[in-house]
Amino acid sequence: MNENPKYSFVVPAYNEEANIEALYKRIKQLMKNTDDTWELIFVNDGSTDKTLTVLNELTEKEKRVKYLNLSRNFGHQAALSAGLKFASGEAVISMDCDLQDPPEVIEQMIKKWKEGNHIVYARRRNFRKDNFIKRLGSKIYYRIMGKFTRIDIPKNVGDFRLVDQKVLSEINEMPEHSRYLRGMVAWTGFKHDFVDYQRPDRQKGESNYTFGKLAKLGMDGVFNFSMLPLRIGFLLGLISTISGFGLLLYQVFDVLVNGVYYHLYKWLVVILFIFMGFMFMLLWIIGEYIGKIYDDVRQRPLYVISETKNFE
C-alpha cells in the first residue's frame, strides 16, 4: 500500500461535479488491462458546486482516487502545482477535468515515455470553437512567444502532458509564484516528444477559463519567459528619438528653405503628448515586473490545503 505507483494522474477541478465520475471511469477503463499501479489525484480548487461531495463519494469507493481540497480558489496553475507536489508516480500525467483531454490519448503518451522521452506533450490538431478574438489572440500570442522567448515553448499544447518523475522533481523545486507550467516544463530541457490528437468540445459544465484568466496566463508566460516587454520599451524609446530628430530636421528645413515660421509650443505639445503615452506604457511594464518580484519576496504559499483524502 505504501509503494509508489507507476502512474499518477493529476486533475485540477473547479465546479466539475458533472465530469468527475465520467473521467474516473474512462481512466479506469484505460488502465484495466495493465498490471501497473496507478493513482488519480483530484485537486478541488475552491469549487462552489457539489464537486467536493462527488469526490468524497468516489474516494470512499476507490482508494486509488485521492483528492486535495484547497481552502479557496487559487487558480488553475496553483491547483495543478499542488497536485504535482503530491504525485509520486514514475510517470505523472496532468490533464483537465472537462473531458476535453481524452484519457484514451494517454496510452500513446505512455508508449512514448517508455521509448525514453522524459516529457510527452499532447498537441492539439484542431482549433477551439471560440470567438474570433480568442482565436486571433491565441495565434498572435504563440507567434510572439515563439520569436521572443529564450526557450522553445511548444505550440498548441496545454497542460495535458506526461512528465517523468525526474522532470517533476525539477518543477517542484522551482519557487516562483507566477506559475506558467507550460514554460517551466519546457525550460527543464529534457528529451521530449508529441502525441497529436483532436480536442473534443466540452459536453458538460462551462469553461472556467474566462478571457481575463486567459489574459493573466498569457501575461505570466510573456513576463516569466521573455524579455520582450523591456525590449519594447527600448524600441519605443528609439522610435521616439528618431521621430523627434526627424521633426526637428523637417522644421529646420521648412524654416530655412520655405521661410515658414513655427511656434515652438506647437511642436512641444505634440511631442510631450506622445512621450506621456510612452511613459505610461513603460511604467506599466515596470510595474508588472515589480509586482512579480513582490509576490516572490513575500514568500506566501502558492496554495493552502484544508483537507486531503486517501493519502497514506
The pLDDT assigned to 128 comes to 57
The pLDDT assigned to 180 comes to 84
Does residue 91 sit in the same domain as residue 207? Answer: yes
Angle between helices 228-258 and 132-148 (to 10 degrees): 90
Nearest to 62 by CA among 76, 42, 46: 42
Does residue 102 sit in the same domain as residue 47? Answer: yes
Q: Is residue 312 part of a domain?
A: no
Q: Is residue 184 part of a domain?
A: yes
Q: Which residues in the chain show pLDDT less than 50?
A: 1
Transcribe 124-158 into DSSP letters: E-S--S--HHHHHHHHHHHHHHHHHBSS-PPTTEE
Does residue 259 sit in the same domain as residue 171? Answer: no
Q: Is residue 306 part of a domain?
A: no
Does residue 205 sit in the same domain as residue 89? Answer: yes
Does residue 188 sit in the same domain as residue 266? Answer: no
How confident is the model over 129-188, as pLDDT tens digits?
A: 555 666 666 666 666 666 666 678 888 888 999 999 999 999 999 988 878 898 899 999
The pLDDT assigned to 153 comes to 81
Does residue 190 sit in the same domain as residue 241? Answer: no
Does residue 68 sit in the same domain as residue 168? Answer: yes
Contacts of residues 22-28 at CB distance under 8 Å and 24 or more positions apart, as own/partner, are: 22/99, 22/204, 23/97, 23/99, 23/103, 24/58, 24/62, 24/65, 26/99, 26/102, 26/103, 26/104, 27/103, 27/106
Does residue 25 sit in the same domain as residue 146? Answer: yes
DSSP-based three-state secondary structure for 216: helix
Give the chain's length.
Answer: 312
Q: Is residue 109 part of a domain?
A: yes
Task: Give the domain range for residue 291.
Answer: 228-298
Based on DSSP, count helices (H) and strands (E) in the chain, helices before strands. 10, 8
The pLDDT assigned to 202 comes to 60
The pLDDT assigned to 1 comes to 46
The pLDDT assigned to 43 comes to 98
Domain count, the chain: 2
The pLDDT assigned to 127 comes to 64
Alpha-carbon span 11 to 217, nearest angstrom: 18
State the burial class of residue 216 (Cβ atoms within 10 Å of its Cβ: 0-12, 13-18, 19+): middle
The pLDDT assigned to 11 comes to 98
CATH of the domain at 128: 3.90.550.10
Final residue of a domain: which of 180, 211, 242?
A: 211
Q: Are strands 157-164 and 119-124 parallel, antiparallel or unpaired?
A: antiparallel
Does residue 248 sit in the same domain as residue 168? Answer: no
DSSP-based three-state secondary structure for 11: strand
The pLDDT assigned to 5 comes to 95
